[in-house]
Chain A
Amino acid sequence: MKPPDDKTAGSSSATPEPADSDPRDTGLPLLRTWRGIYLFVFGCFVLWVVLLTMLTMIFP
């Protein structure tokens, strides 16, 4: 890979790809879209915070 040419830095050839143009299929049986996976991950996070909060409150 050649070093990037400063003259072309920031030119349209280096335009980053939009995130939503990626393949939508995740290949997973239940969570078929990336949005679904992100929501699932966020849900797991919220569940953990709730459980840890309960632990903190039950054994102060």
Chain B
Amino acid sequence: MNLLDYVVLLGTMLGIALYGMWLTRGRHNLDSYLRGSGDSRWFVVGLSVMATQASAVTFLSTPGQGFASGLGFIQIYFGMPIALIIIAAVFLPIYRRLNVITAYEYLGQRFDTKARLLGAAIFLLQRGLGAGITIYAPAIVLSTVFGWRLDVTIICSGLVVIAYTVSGGSDAVNVTQKYQIGVIFAGMLAACVVLLHKLPAGLGLTDALTLAGGMHKLQAVNFSTDPRERYTLWSGVLGATFLMLAYFGTDQSQVQRYISGASLRESRLGLMFNAVFKIPMQFFILSLGVLLFLFYQFEKPPVYFNEVEWKHQAEHGDASRLQAIETDFAAAHDRERQQLETWLNARRTGNSAAETAARAAVSAAHEEVETVRAQAEMAVDPTGKKKDTDYVFITFILDYLPHGLIGLLVATFFAAALSAKAAELNALGSATTVDIYRHVIKRQASDAHYLAASKWFTVFWGLVSISFALSATLAENLIQAVNIIGSIFYPVMLGLFVVGFFLRRIGGTAVFWGALATQVLVIALFFRLNISYLWYNLIGCAACVLFSAVLQMWLGPNNRSTPTPAQS
């Protein structure tokens, strides 16, 4: 980054902060702080929902996922359109009719206090752990730009996001998110253009697709029925539908976004906007990762994309070993590039025998490159847990985009990461205040008291997420880690709501113990089975419904049943 980048960076950050504060000035009551002003149009609702889910984690981590594993990750989004249709048709009218601030208020009204508290507790546990992962996003940006250690940037960005959230509230998140997402998309388009421009001359679209396909990066749909395969059509359509149902339908950070719509129509259209555009958006972001992969076949990448960590190891570890790895990597990468050119020449001459041989040689050379990269990962972390794919896109931005645009993109990435974290902490603070503090600890207090309490809970959760991030080591990239944690806790939460909506004969006691038993089962299965994490969403939800029904039969008829939309 040069002076121009730093000027743009500072200007953009200050502009976003001041604009958000100006638009949300004078908001002092609990309801507008937690839920927003409730006058958002569908486009704002749609962008807000998209930005809360997409956030900087998606923009940083998903190109890296495409770089490492190709397009297959898109199958996790196959469940989203189906889930959003169900939420728009069933969940949303209920939330709006009951005028709830948190989704768990519904559980209290449908069942009883303990079911509501259980729902809120599962959300807090899951989202609190998730917050410890998403705090990595702004920290990675800071670490890469300024060359600071990740633990330092986790603390810095964590404190900044706490201040941002406590001073802003929901609307400040909304008003800045829509502009941030626009700038990020523009930046990603610019990155795409630069990538296409920097690919070798003469490499046409068909050549590029053939190379990417030949290196297994274009396997977007996998029809395998093996449950151990993480992303398949079936785990996407069945398992991910339940994951998305739980995330969009019961996670307070999302429910808070779409219940802020001016009317049911605005909220529904906002959700449908996401249902239509999410898959193409993710396709574009993953394709950017595939393009990055192709680009780095011809341009030598760093052997380890987290260059700050690499330099730290070189300074404090076995420098000669790292030097040897770098030398091996350069040689292996050079051999792979030569084999790729041989393959392309064979394609152009139409010599199919030579093409087949060259393709096999490329595969062998690529394996060699990957072996050296694995050695580099082991050199940084002997357990091999630390991954560097989250650093791929930000490294490309800093190394290859024009100055000025680098500053703008870094600022927007950081701001988007702050906004997503702010939305997350805001949801944690509001659920703790409304569902636990106001409901159990202090029932009769002023609005100002609850608003102050909500801000203190936001600070508390911010500190929890910083502590978790400092003590944990990410074994997956960010985008997968967030979804894995969600898949352990979401199924039970979804099960609570499914029973509430569709099974009117089941009461609070049965669903409470059924949900607890299911949570134990899902955690046990997660550690015992070797299947795609997406399946736990289906298994957990089904188990919660089944356990609750069996328990209710054992307890006898529930006399406090409520008519449900499916049956009324």
A residues neighboring B (CB under 8 Å): 1, 3-4, 6, 8-12, 14-19, 21-23, 26-28, 34, 37-38, 40-42, 44-45, 48-49, 52-53, 55-56, 58-60
Number of B positions contacting A (CB below 8 A) = 61
Residue in B90, B213, B562 whose beta carbon sits within 8 Å of that of A14 in the complex: B562
Q: Which residue of B lies closest to A48 (CB)?
A: B279
15 contacts across the A-B interface (CB closer than 8 A): A10-B111, A10-B561, A12-B563, A16-B110, A17-B93, A19-B93, A27-B265, A42-B85, A45-B78, A49-B78, A53-B220, A55-B218, A59-B209, A59-B214, A60-B213
| Chain B hits for A59, CB < 8 A | 209-210, 212-214, 218
| Chain A hits for B84, CB < 8 A | 41
Stretch at the interface among B48-56, B96-104, B410-418: B96-104
Across chains A and B, the number of contacting residue pairs, with CB separation under 8 Å, is 134
Residue in A6, A15, A37 whose beta carbon sits within 8 Å of that of B568 in the complex: A15
Stretch at the interface among B152-160, B246-254, B268-276, B322-330: B268-276
Q: Which residue of B lies closest to A4 (CB)?
A: B108
Bound CA–CA A17/B209 (angstroms)? 50
From B78, B98, B109, residue with most partner A Cβ within 10 Å: B109
Residue in B105, B221, B279 whose beta carbon sits within 8 Å of that of A4 in the complex: B105
* A41 near B85: Cβ-Cβ < 8 Å: yes
From A11, A12, A21, A44, residue with most partner B Cβ within 10 Å: A44
* A17 near B97: Cβ-Cβ < 8 Å: yes
Shortest beta-carbon distance from B376 to chain A in Å? 29
Bound CA–CA A41/B409 (angstroms)? 32
Shortest beta-carbon distance from B69 to chain A in Å? 14
Q: Which residue of B lies closest to A59 (CB)?
A: B213
Bound CA–CA A12/B110 (angstroms)? 9
| Chain A hits for B438, CB < 8 A | 3
Q: Which residue of A lies closest to B78 (CB)?
A: A49
Residue in A15, A22, A28, A42 whose beta carbon sits within 8 Å of that of B562 in the complex: A15
* A10 near B109: Cβ-Cβ < 8 Å: yes
Shortest beta-carbon distance from B354 to chain A in Å? 19
B533 lies within 8 A of chain A by Cβ: no
B368 lies within 8 A of chain A by Cβ: no
| Chain B hits for A55, CB < 8 A | 71, 218, 220
Bound CA–CA A46/B265 (angstroms)? 24
Shortest beta-carbon distance from B83 to chain A in Å? 11
| Chain A hits for B233, CB < 8 A | 49
| Chain B hits for A42, CB < 8 A | 81-82, 85
Q: Which residue of B lies closest to A10 (CB)?
A: B560
Q: Mark B62-106, 1 if CB is under 8 A from A, else 0.
A: 000000000100100010011011001110011011110100011
Shortest beta-carbon distance from A29 to chain B in Å? 13
* B508 near A9: Cβ-Cβ < 8 Å: yes
From B96, B220, B563, residue with most partner A Cβ within 10 Å: B220
B258 lies within 8 A of chain A by Cβ: no
| Chain A hits for B93, CB < 8 A | 16-19, 21-22
Q: Which residue of B lies closest to A18 (CB)?
A: B565
Bound CA–CA A44/B78 (angstroms)? 11
Evaluate whether A52 and B110 lie within 8 angstroms (CB atoms) in the complex, with A14-B562, A45-B82 already known. no
* A52 near B90: Cβ-Cβ < 8 Å: no
Shortest beta-carbon distance from B323 to chain A in Å? 38
Q: Which residue of A lies closest to B213 (CB)?
A: A59
* A18 near B443: Cβ-Cβ < 8 Å: no
* B89 near A3: Cβ-Cβ < 8 Å: no
Nearest first, the 3 A-B pairs at minimum CB distance are A59-B213, A17-B97, A14-B109
Evaluate whether A38 and B218 lie within 8 angstroms (CB atoms) in the complex, with A3-B438, A6-B112, A9-B108 already known. no
Which of B206-224 touch A at CB < 8 Å? 209-210, 212-214, 218-222
* A41 near B272: Cβ-Cβ < 8 Å: yes
Bound CA–CA A29/B93 (angstroms)? 23
| Chain A hits for B222, CB < 8 A | 56
* A56 near B264: Cβ-Cβ < 8 Å: no
| Chain A hits for B219, CB < 8 A | 56, 60
Shortest beta-carbon distance from B291 to chain A in Å? 14
Bound CA–CA A28/B269 (angstroms)? 10
| Chain A hits for B71, CB < 8 A | 52, 55
B564 lies within 8 A of chain A by Cβ: yes
Shortest beta-carbon distance from B90 to chain A in Å? 5
Shortest beta-carbon distance from B218 to chain A in Å? 5
Evaluate whether A3 and B443 lie within 8 angstroms (CB atoms) in the complex, with A10-B507, A10-B560, A55-B220 already known. yes
List 4 other contacts, CB 8 Å, given A8-B109, A52-B220.
A6-B113, A16-B501, A18-B568, A49-B78
